[in-house]
A and B are shown apart, each in its own frame.
Chain A
Amino acid sequence: MGEVALYDISKRFTLRIDGAVHTVQALSRVSFKVHDGEIVALIGPSGCGKTTVLRIAMGLETASGGKVAVDGREVRGCGHDRGMVFQFAELLPWLTALQNVMFGLEMKGMRGAELRATATRYLELVGLSDSLNRRPHQLSGGMKQRVGIARALAIDPKVLLMDEPFGALDAQTRETMQAELLELHARTRKTILFVTHDLDEAVLIADRIVVMKHGMVQEIMTVPLSRPRPDLGIVRGTPDFAETRYRVWKALHEPAATLH
């Protein structure tokens, strides 16, 4: 199982600008669910609070109100039930790819031969069996993010949380990674919540798309594309893709919904 539910999440920041204290309502009553095995994309313009939602779901930030539950259990702070993939991979630069994956596993309490074997297995899963002993600076951007994904997957979390995981990659690498992510998902059936500002990416990968604006959920739409989607090139050519993409685009360009 792996279901994430966000109930009425709100977040206020206080900022000090020129000596005056401002309160910024970053999130208001954000509620949605990611069902078991589902991929949900959080999309919205920058500053809409999508990354904050993800960070609150991970436990890296605390919500001012509302709650997050994984499989019905309310969570506070970080936990091994959630695996985080960071925007810029954020590998520890002094560790090799293998050691980076092992780090996450060690924190979960794994030791000995199992530790190395598991880390190796997950790096193989993301196609890095030849680069186990490379340090991050010896890896390309795409490879780094593969290690980041392997590190998060290796602890076998119920949910994978991804913060614009392919945002820093070039267009070609991004497409490869998107296809790989879908393949990985087909194999592991992990629940995935990922943040993106890329319309195409959201439609190609997600089952449902949460459109956010000004810290609120504007609309939640279902992507009518079937799984598996082995060839994203073909998916791009379907009328369903074009239609969904247009719907999301429109939602992003509509005036923001008001809070009821």
Chain B
Amino acid sequence: MLLGAWEILGRDINPVFGSYPSAIAEAFWQLARTGKLWTALLDSLRPFLLGYGLAIVVGIPIGLVIGRFRTVEAAIGIYITAGYAMPLVALVPLLVLWLGLGFAVKVAIVFLMSVFPICINTWLGVTAVPKALIEVGKSFVAPDAVILRRIILPATLPYIMAGIRLAVGRAVVAMVIAEFFTSISGLGAVIITSANNFDTATMFVPIVILMVMAIGLNYLIGAVERWVAPWQAEIAGREE
């Protein structure tokens, strides 16, 4: 429906100001055939996956520790909250000064955009773990580290996975920002160059691809969630 309306109404608009699905599909075909699209996608994916992966690996343990220990929360909690609201775009020039224009700065931007939602969600998840489950650990004389890893971590998994999902969108946006403002490359470059050439249909191709990618990743994360936390879906009282 939406696509149909866009197709019909879009045709009446000047191709500089707008586009429509079949024109975008054609542009997609052009880009795909020349192989430009795939190299761009690969260029984008490498810093994206590394930055996003790092955000997961770093964000979860920090969130766990902040949530578990009040002293740590008091010490660094506000920085995490502030970091989440940080206008990263404004800091890009500074990051470029530190890390140059290449691969590293892109990873850093993706990382900085996605680490905070993961960290904050993990943190909130830990504070929601029932005290009774922690007392089970204590009753059996489990050391703190074991309670953290074997009780708090699994109990927090649904929150962590929600954070990881929320971070997907931010990571995708971060990736494009990185490609706009550092060395122009990847899908972001395709967007910029086609926009500069007033080739609006081509500009939409990477945008659509990015959105599809986000949906795909989200789906993948859902599958991972069902794999690492199969009990969760069974407990949840969702209507079919």
Q: Which residue of A has the minimal Cβ distance to B157?
A: A94
A79 within 8 Å of B (CB atoms): yes
Q: Given A107-B141, A107-B142, decide whether A88 and B150 contact each other with a Cβ distance below 8 A.
A: no
Q: Which residue of B has the minimal Cβ distance to A137?
A: B235
A74 within 8 Å of B (CB atoms): no
Number of A interface residues, CB 8 Å?
23
Q: How far is the CA of A84 from the CA of B133 in the complex (A)?
A: 12
A32 within 8 Å of B (CB atoms): no
Q: Which of B142, B150, B235 contacts A93 (CB 8 A)?
A: B235
Q: Which residue of A has the minimal Cβ distance to B138?
A: A78
Establish whether residues B154 and A90, one from each chain, have CB atoms under 8 Å apart when the complex forms.
no
Q: How far is the CA of A135 from the CA of B231 in the complex (A)?
A: 8
Chain A residues lying within 8 Å of B154, measured Cβ to Cβ, are: 92, 94
Q: Which residue of A has the minimal Cβ distance to B140?
A: A107
Q: How far is the CA of A90 from the CA of B151 in the complex (A)?
A: 12
B132 within 8 Å of A (CB atoms): yes
Q: Which of A79, A86, A92, A137 contacts B141 (CB 8 A)?
A: A79
Establish whether residues A108 and B135, one from each chain, have CB atoms under 8 Å apart when the complex forms.
no
A232 within 8 Å of B (CB atoms): no
Establish whether residues B135 and A135, one from each chain, have CB atoms under 8 Å apart when the complex forms.
no
Can you list, as one digit per residue, whether each of A28-54 has a CB less than 8 Å from chain B (1) or not (0)? 000000000000000000000000000
Chain B residues lying within 8 Å of A88, measured Cβ to Cβ, are: 132
Say how far B100's CB is from chain A's closest CB, in angstroms.
Answer: 44
Q: Given A79-B141, A86-B136, A155-B140, decide whether A92 and B234 contact each other with a Cβ distance below 8 A.
A: no
Q: Which of B139, B142, B235 has the most CB of A within 10 A?
A: B139
B208 within 8 Å of A (CB atoms): no
Q: How far is the CA of A103 from the CA of B138 in the complex (A)?
A: 12
A58 within 8 Å of B (CB atoms): yes
Q: Given A104-B140, A107-B142, decide whether A90 and B133 contact each other with a Cβ distance below 8 A.
A: yes
Can you list, as one digit per residue, whether each of A104-138 has a CB less than 8 Å from chain B (1) or not (0)? 10011000000000000000000000000001011
Can you list, as one digit per residue, whether each of B116-155 has a CB less than 8 Å from chain A (1) or not (0)? 0000000000000000110111111110001000110011
A189 within 8 Å of B (CB atoms): no
Establish whether residues A108 and B140, one from each chain, have CB atoms under 8 Å apart when the complex forms.
yes
Q: How far is the CA of A82 from the CA of B139 in the complex (A)?
A: 8
Chain A residues lying within 8 Å of B140, measured Cβ to Cβ, are: 78, 80, 103-104, 107-108, 155
B207 within 8 Å of A (CB atoms): no
Q: How far is the CA of A80 from the CA of B141 in the complex (A)?
A: 7
Interface residues of A in 68-91 (CB under 8 A from B): 78-80, 82-84, 86, 88, 90
Q: How far is the CA of A94 from the CA of B150 in the complex (A)?
A: 10
Chain B residues lying within 8 Å of A104, measured Cβ to Cβ, are: 140
B229 within 8 Å of A (CB atoms): yes
Say how far B156's CB is from chain A's closest CB, in angstroms.
Answer: 11
Q: Given A78-B140, A78-B141, A107-B141, decide whether A137 and B150 contact each other with a Cβ distance below 8 A.
A: no
Q: How far is the CA of A155 from the CA of B140 in the complex (A)?
A: 9
Say how far A140's CB is from chain B's closest CB, in angstroms.
Answer: 15
Establish whether residues A78 and B139, one from each chain, have CB atoms under 8 Å apart when the complex forms.
yes
A60 within 8 Å of B (CB atoms): yes
Could you list which residues of chain A lie within 8 angstroms of chain B, going by C-beta atoms?
A: 58-60, 78-80, 82-84, 86, 88, 90, 92-94, 103-104, 107-108, 135, 137-138, 155
